[in-house]
Amino acid sequence: MKKVVMYTLSTCPWCMRAKKFFREHDIPFEYTDYDKADDETKRAIKEDCLEHGSEMSFPFVKIGDEVVVGYNPEKYAKLLEL
């Protein structure tokens, strides 16, 4: 199973929907709320996001080595071969 890691915002409904998607499909995932993180974590997330050209748009979802920016259940399912 590919590892799922997400950067999210506590205020973003699409981040909530992404989390719900993985829960409903029994996919374990880790997440960090960017807006609630400490400064060092924020810096690291920012670097990671900008490296992938996301301009700080959330949710930022890593599935294995792939990155999906935005709530896109079809892409999540495809990458996870659901």
21 forms part of the interface with other proteins (CB under 8 A): no
**With contact defined as beta carbons under 8 Å apart, do 13 and 64 qualify?**
no
9 forms part of the interface with other proteins (CB under 8 A): yes
Query: Tokens in use for 30?
Result: 């880790």
81 forms part of the interface with other proteins (CB under 8 A): no
Among 4, 6, 15, 63, the residue binding other proteins under the rule CB under 8 A is 15
19 forms part of the interface with other proteins (CB under 8 A): no
**With contact defined as beta carbons under 8 Å apart, do 80 and 3 qualify?**
no
State the Cα–Cα distance between residues 34 and 2, nearest whole angstrom.
Answer: 22
State the Cα–Cα distance between residues 16 and 20, nearest whole angstrom.
Answer: 6
28 forms part of the interface with other proteins (CB under 8 A): no
Residues found near other proteins in the complex (CB under 8 A) = 9, 11-15, 34-35, 45-46, 49, 52-58, 68-72
